[in-house]
């Protein structure tokens, strides 16, 4: 090639790229050990503004999602997770963007490449009748219809059935969720109710604001003819409960202790990490499980007992504020919340945590009904597959790991560890490796035998 030809080619290349290095596509998936296609690479979301209009009569959802994110690399395109629903229009930085769908991936090509570090705004208009998804363990998640409305639940990836986003727990963001529904319905979501207004056309708009970061699987939207009660804890945390009328009588007892539980948890684990607390009690049979949706856990009918309410509340510290880096770290959610149940009972005249621990070793179901479960089937830090991340070892053996730490280091250091873990990782993400390193540093103890036998060991520990 001649010098002249090379100069011309260089000039043309610079003209095509605006004198900058072009971006590259963001990854379609974060390679999570159990859900490799969940989430997307190349950016981190800072804020979701969701404007949702839902009609229970025909199940139609019309939505606009405004997603503010920061590019972590130069981006020629990026992906959003979205299951079903029809995408009508996409803009990036106010300019029309090309897009296409493949499975649960919405690929967006901005009119101009995004630069590394650039904060960019994507607006997606979409519509359709959202559906439920089947989890690997056979349970349903996503958008679930009820007798008089619907609810969105998202563990692990069901939130992609009702809004586009980066649906992996490692990407937390703040949220504003506005729900417009027919007059006479309540619409409940995470955080604080900023406003409730009549739109003038027979519909009501509810604007919810979540100022603290939230993983997308913890987002919820519940539409129905709920009975709403409001209150405050003794320390001033706002409480908002929405209960299906037919479940109100049986819910009253377990939910009555929620303010007391918030205060107790603040003493045991450190300050409550959110500005609001509460509950959404669905019509009975809507779901097969309760879920710790941020600030307002969802219950599939009246909570069976106060320990279930305590379990979901404990997740506000462990799972919601301190969220897992990957779904392999699920025991950091469930083992901690299960151990919180043990501590609540211990502090309120029930069985001690030591008695619960011994009951599992002995299979004593009189002390704990779950003691004959297959709690030793696999190591809690290494479930054998995605269908096992909610298995008994993640909950019960996870709690036993924590009790073994307590036995090794004593109560003073153990409870300082729980409070320190919640404080030092507040509103962040953490892995099992982060926890084991933190526990040894915080307590000053070598806990390798606990990790080797109880956390990672195969077979039944002794």
210-251 pLDDT, tens digit each:
999 999 999 999 999 999 999 999 999 999 999 999 999 999
Residue 311 has pLDDT above 90, yes or no: yes
As given in the structure block, the two tokens for residue 241 are 């409960």
Tell me how far apart the alpha carbons of residues 110 and 454 are, in angstroms, rounded to a whole number.
Answer: 49
Residue 18 has pLDDT above 80, yes or no: no
Determine which of 13-27, 76-90, 151-165, 321-335 has the lowest per-residue pLDDT on average.
13-27
As given in the structure block, the two tokens for residue 39 are 């989430």
Alpha helix ranges (H) inside 218-330: 248-256, 258-269, 306-314
Tell me how far apart the alpha carbons of residues 97 and 123 are, in angstroms, rounded to a whole number.
Answer: 10
Which 8-state DSSP code applies to residue 291? B
Residue 94 has pLDDT above 60, yes or no: yes
What sign for the dihedral angle of Cα 358, 341, 343, 431? Answer: positive
Give the model's pLDDT for residue 225.
98
- Quick one: average pLDDT of 354-363? 98
β-strand 105-109 against 119-128: which pairing, if any?
A: unpaired
Burial 445-460, CB ≥16 within 10 A → b, else e: bebeebbebbbebeee
Tell me how far apart the alpha carbons of residues 194 and 392 are, in angstroms, rounded to a whole number.
Answer: 39
The answer to whether the CB of 38 falls within 8 A of the CB of 156 is: yes
C-alpha to C-alpha distances, 44 to 132, 252, 336, nearest whole angstrom: 26, 40, 27
Give the model's pLDDT for residue 6.
43
Phi and psi of 164, rounded to 5°?
-75, 145
Tell me how far apart the alpha carbons of residues 341 and 420 are, in angstroms, rounded to a whole number.
Answer: 19
- Quick one: average pLDDT of 119-145? 97
Closest to 194 (Cα-Cα) out of 79, 74, 49: 49
Residue 167 has pLDDT above 50, yes or no: yes
pTM of the model: 0.94
Give the model's pLDDT for residue 22.
80
Give the model's pLDDT for residue 369.
95
Query: Prior bond to 196 cis, omega within 30?
Result: no
Residue 1 has pLDDT above 90, yes or no: no
The answer to whether the CB of 151 falls within 8 A of the CB of 282 is: yes
Percent share of the chain, pLDDT over 70: 95
Tell me how far apart the alpha carbons of residues 450 and 461 are, in angstroms, rounded to a whole number.
Answer: 10
Tell me how far apart the alpha carbons of residues 371 and 64 are, in angstroms, rounded to a whole number.
Answer: 47
- Quick one: average pLDDT of 157-172? 98
The answer to whether the CB of 80 falls within 8 A of the CB of 104 is: no
The count of C-alpha atoms lying within 13 angstroms of the C-alpha of 98, restricted to the half-sphere facing its C-beta, is: 6
The answer to whether the CB of 48 falls within 8 A of the CB of 67 is: yes
Give the model's pLDDT for residue 462.
78
């Amino acid at each position: 090639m001649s010098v002249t030809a090379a100069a011309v080619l260089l000039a043309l290349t610079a003209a095509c790229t605006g004198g900058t290095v072009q971006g590259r596509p963001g990854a379609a998936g974060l390679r999570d050990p159990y859900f490799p296609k969940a989430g997307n690479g190349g950016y981190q979301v800072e804020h979701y503004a969701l404007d949702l209009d839902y009609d229970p009569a025909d199940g139609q959802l019309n939505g606009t999602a405004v997603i503010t994110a920061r590019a972590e690399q130069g981006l020629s395109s990026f992906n959003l997770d979205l299951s079903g629903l029809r995408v009508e229009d996409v803009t990036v930085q106010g300019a029309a963007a090309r897009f296409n769908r493949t499975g649960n991936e919405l690929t967006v090509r901005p009119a101009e490449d995004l630069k590394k570090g650039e904060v960019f705004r994507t607006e997606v208009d979409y519509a359709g009748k959202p559906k439920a998804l089947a989890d690997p363990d056979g349970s349903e998640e996503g958008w679930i219809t009820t007798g008089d409305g619907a609810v969105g639940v998202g563990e692990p990836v069901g939130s992609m059935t009702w809004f586009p986003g980066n649906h992996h727990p490692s990407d937390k963001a703040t949220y504003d969720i506005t729900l417009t529904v027919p007059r006479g319905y309540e619409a409940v979501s995470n955080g604080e109710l900023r406003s409730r207004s009549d739109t003038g056309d027979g519909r009501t708009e509810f604007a919810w604001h979540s100022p603290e970061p939230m993983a997308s699987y913890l987002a919820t939207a519940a539409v129905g003819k709920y009975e709403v009660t409001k209150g405050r804890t003794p320390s001033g945390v706002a409480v908002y409960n929405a209960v299906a009328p037919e479940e109100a009588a049986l819910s009253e007892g377990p939910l009555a202790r929620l303010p007391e539980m918030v205060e107790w948890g603040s003493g045991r684990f450190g300050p409550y990490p959110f500005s609001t607390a509460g509950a959404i009690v669905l019509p009975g049979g809507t779901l097969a499980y309760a879920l710790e949706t941020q600030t307002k856990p969802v219950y599939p009918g009246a909570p069976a007992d106060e320990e279930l309410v305590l379990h979901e509340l404990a997740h506000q510290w462990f799972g919601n504020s301190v969220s897992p880096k990957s779904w392999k770290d699920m025991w950091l959610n469930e083992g901690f919340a299960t151990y919180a149940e043990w501590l609540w009972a211990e502090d309120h005249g029930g069985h001690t945590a030591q008695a619960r621990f011994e009951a599992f070793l002995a299979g004593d179901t009189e002390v704990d009904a779950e003691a004959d479960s297959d709690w030793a089937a696999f190591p809690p830090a290494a479930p054998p597959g995605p269908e096992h991340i909610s298995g008994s070892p993640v909950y019960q053996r996870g709690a036993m790991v924590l009790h073994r730490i307590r036995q090794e280091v004593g109560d003073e250091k153990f409870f300082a560890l729980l409070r320190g873990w919640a404080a030092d990782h507040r509103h962040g993400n953490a892995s099992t490796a982060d926890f084991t390193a933190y526990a040894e540093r915080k307590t000053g103890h070598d806990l390798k035998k606990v990790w080797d036998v109880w956390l990672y060991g195969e077979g039944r520990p002794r």
